[in-house]
Chains A and B, each alone.
Chain A
Amino acid sequence: MRIKDLPDENLFVCGHTACPGCGVALSIRNAIRILGKDTSVYVPASCAVVFGSTYPYGAWKVPFFHTAFENTGACLAGMQAAFEKKGKKVISVGFAGDGGTYDIGLQSMSGAAERNDDVIYICVDNEAYMNTGIQRSGGTPFGAWTTTTPVGSKIQGNRTFKKNLGEIVAAHDIPYYATLSIGHPLDFIKKVEKAKSIKGFRFLHMFTPCVPGWKIDPAKTIAVTKLAVESGMWTLYEVENGEKKITHKPGKMKSVKEYLIMQGRFRHMSPEDIKKLQGWVCRKWNLHYKEKGAPEICEIELPEEHHAVTEEHREMHGP
């Protein structure tokens, strides 16, 4: 399916209250457009529940359900079981945030994956708890500022690297796991369609920038996503029945600094920290792209000195 062939009908209506330029709203709208009308949605505590439905109003045109934070997997399994019992052909899909997947909902997601329940689990990953005011989650990248990983004189920003959720989920031997980016529409459509056609537990991992949390210009939501893929911070691949396949190979690797500079949450990063993060990205890049062709190996040599704060950066975010 190409963009042209997508249906016109908007199942996530206009007038929702997401921030301008919201990456999550964009992913939800397009995912539900592809999944179609015969879908039932579960959303745990997250931005998506606030901007998508404020009782008694709602933006969803499909059945929508919400209870607690930690039980996306269990709720989806229950919904699907009820539909099967009633003999209805419905896709149960859950949109959980990174907090609701990496940290709080991990056990419930793991249970559903283990039982291979016939549901679609979508993680919209904006790399922190944005709904409650930007707290660190397991998905927060190294060096990022959040309110719980503040920038001080001794420690600047988050000290841990982003958790490799893909490996954790894929280790459940589920039929389908894929990473998606809203900056790559064709890849996005293909993967959601594929997930729709497969039976069993399917996990779609979406990379969705957050404008206030990342401190980016709302117009740059897509640009920053594309750069995340080109710099190796985000990798587009899928794991189908245990077999991993890279679905989008970026050209020459871009320096992670180009990605960091667009975002206010990284503006404090020291040369050592950038070097450390670049090292992590290079390892990840090599891990993903080594066997499957170009580029053979990370070509960027770590420069001796990085300048974390440039004039351009100051202009954008202040020193």
Chain B
Amino acid sequence: MFELRFHGRGGQGAVMAAQTIAEAAVIEGNYAVAFPFFGAERRGAPVLAFARIDSKKIFSKTQVYTPDCEVVLDDSLLDTIDVVSGLKPDGIVVINSKDKPEDIDLGKEIRTGAVDATSVALEILKAPITNTAILGALVKATGIVKIESIEEAIKRRFGEKLGAKVGERNALAARTAYDRTVVGKSKGIKKLETKKQWLPSYQEIPLGGVLVESRTEAGLIGPGSFIENKVFGWATFRPVRDKEKCTMCLLCWFYCPEGTIVRISDRGDLMTNYDYCKGCGICANECPVDAITMVRGKT
């Protein structure tokens, strides 16, 4: 049995990717299952999806804990999640990254296929939805199914939902990523510490669950504690303000859903706190003097 685990962010289509690889396996006459893991999370938050492929009927219903292949749709996840945990020693990681496999630090030396799927998706689909591009890379790196089968599966699955034209374009994205994928060996330097959780005993839980602002071993809890939740990884684009053009109308400050544009009243200036910017682009879209542009990449 070949087991896959997908790490993505809500909106990138990790669930669809898992379903599509399963469908491609079925097209080739194998058995396959695909299913997501649900949390109370929004678009942009980390999500998990799983797939199993076998030539025999599959009876296993659990999540995949020891995958043969790990698919990472967004390399910013590497900072927060230990993606290689449980990966079999002869397993492979397929990752969406601008870097070559030799430059990617996964905390483990392991066979790695890398492709800049975000660029492929932006070129062909005009949106940073990387699921079909990463499938092309997955096929190149593992050879678990043929590229023709994955193209067929994409056309079927996406065509059915979004129309034939969209299906064709997504198949092209897979093919392009297939051609661009580089396979190598990753670095294994960093040690990722798992984030501590606040796990009080029943005596420690306050009456009625009422929390006041306090600091625990696992960080802040209570009112305003989300401030420790850095969400910069959600963004594909980041706003850059041209100070010369800016007239300080403060519309971007008012319109920012995150509150990441901070006003410094005594200096009469604005500052963008990129730690919390999700890259929605409202500020750039609404700026009356076009002083804000959206730029790809980290700032």
Residues of chain A touching chain B, judged by Cβ–Cβ distance below 8 Å, are 3-4, 6, 8, 10, 12-23, 25-26, 29-30, 47, 50-51, 54-64, 182, 185, 211-212, 217-223, 314, 317-319
With A16-B226, A55-B209, A319-B163: A219-B281 Cβ-Cβ less than 8 Å: yes
- The answer for the CA separation of A4 and B265 in the assembled complex, in Å, is 9
With A15-B276, A318-B166: A21-B257 Cβ-Cβ less than 8 Å: yes
B45 neighbours in A (Cβ, 8 Å): 17
- The answer for the CA separation of A64 and B41 in the assembled complex, in Å, is 20
Closest to A226 in B: B286
Nearest CB on B from A170, distance (A): 28
Q: Is A13 a contact of B257 with CB atoms below 8 Å? A: no
Nearest CB on A from B94, distance (A): 25
Cβ proximity bits B13-43 to A, threshold 8 Å, 1 near / 0 not: 0000000000000000000000000001111
Closest to A23 in B: B257
Q: Is B254 a contact of A30 with CB atoms below 8 Å? A: yes
Beyond the given A19-B44, A222-B255, please list 8 additional residue pairs across the A-B interface where CB-CB is below 8 A.
A4-B250, A14-B273, A20-B257, A20-B280, A22-B257, A59-B226, A62-B223, A318-B163
Q: Give the A-B pair count, Cβ closer than 8 A.
A: 143
Q: Is A3 a contact of B251 with CB atoms below 8 Å? A: yes
Q: Is A26 a contact of B263 with CB atoms below 8 Å? A: no
B258 neighbours in A (Cβ, 8 Å): 14, 16, 18, 25
Show 27 A/B contacts (Cβ-Cβ < 8 Å), sorted by A. A13-B259, A14-B227, A14-B231, A14-B260, A14-B273, A16-B226, A18-B257, A19-B10, A19-B11, A19-B42, A20-B43, A20-B234, A21-B280, A22-B42, A26-B256, A29-B259, A54-B40, A56-B221, A182-B255, A218-B280, A219-B281, A219-B284, A221-B257, A221-B280, A222-B286, A223-B285, A317-B162
Nearest CB on B from A266, distance (A): 16
Whether B101 sits at the interface, judged by CB under 8 Å, is no
- The answer for the CA separation of A47 and B45 in the assembled complex, in Å, is 14
Q: Is B278 a contact of A20 with CB atoms below 8 Å? A: yes
- The answer for the CA separation of A6 and B261 in the assembled complex, in Å, is 14
Q: Is A14 a contact of B282 with CB atoms below 8 Å? A: no
A29 neighbours in B (Cβ, 8 Å): 257, 259
Q: Is A57 a contact of B225 with CB atoms below 8 Å? A: yes
| Count of residues in B whose CB is under 8 Å from the partner chain | 54
Cβ proximity bits B229-268 to A, threshold 8 Å, 1 near / 0 not: 1110011000000000000011101111111101101000
Q: Is B226 a contact of A14 with CB atoms below 8 Å? A: yes
Whether B8 sits at the interface, judged by CB under 8 Å, is no
Nearest CB on B from A133, distance (A): 10
Whether B222 sits at the interface, judged by CB under 8 Å, is yes
Closest to A59 in B: B226
- The answer for the CA separation of A63 and B222 in the assembled complex, in Å, is 10
Nearest CB on A from B297, distance (A): 16
Residues of chain B touching chain A, judged by Cβ–Cβ distance below 8 Å, are 10-11, 40-45, 162-163, 165-166, 198, 209, 211, 220-231, 234-235, 249-251, 253-260, 262-263, 265, 273, 275-276, 278-282, 284-286
B229 neighbours in A (Cβ, 8 Å): 15-17, 57
- The answer for the CA separation of A21 and B280 in the assembled complex, in Å, is 5
A60 neighbours in B (Cβ, 8 Å): 223-224
Nearest CB on A from B295, distance (A): 14
- The answer for the CA separation of A19 and B44 in the assembled complex, in Å, is 6
Contact of B225 among A10, A58, A319 (CB under 8 A): A58
A23 neighbours in B (Cβ, 8 Å): 257
Nearest CB on A from B161, distance (A): 8
Closest to B294 in A: A219
Q: Is A25 a contact of B222 with CB atoms below 8 Å? A: no
Closest to A52 in B: B226
Q: Is A13 a contact of B285 with CB atoms below 8 Å? A: no
Q: Is A221 a contact of B282 with CB atoms below 8 Å? A: yes
Q: Is A58 a contact of B223 with CB atoms below 8 Å? A: yes
Q: Is B280 a contact of A57 with CB atoms below 8 Å? A: no
A21 neighbours in B (Cβ, 8 Å): 257, 278, 280-282
Nearest CB on B from A182, distance (A): 8
- The answer for the CA separation of A319 and B275 in the assembled complex, in Å, is 37
Q: Is A51 a contact of B250 with CB atoms below 8 Å? A: no
Q: Is B43 a contact of A19 with CB atoms below 8 Å? A: yes
- The answer for the CA separation of A51 and B231 in the assembled complex, in Å, is 12
Kindly list the 7 A-B residue pairs having the minimum CB-CB distance in the complex, ordered from nearest.
A219-B281, A21-B280, A14-B276, A20-B280, A20-B278, A15-B229, A19-B43
Nearest CB on B from A97, distance (A): 14
Nearest CB on A from B43, distance (A): 4
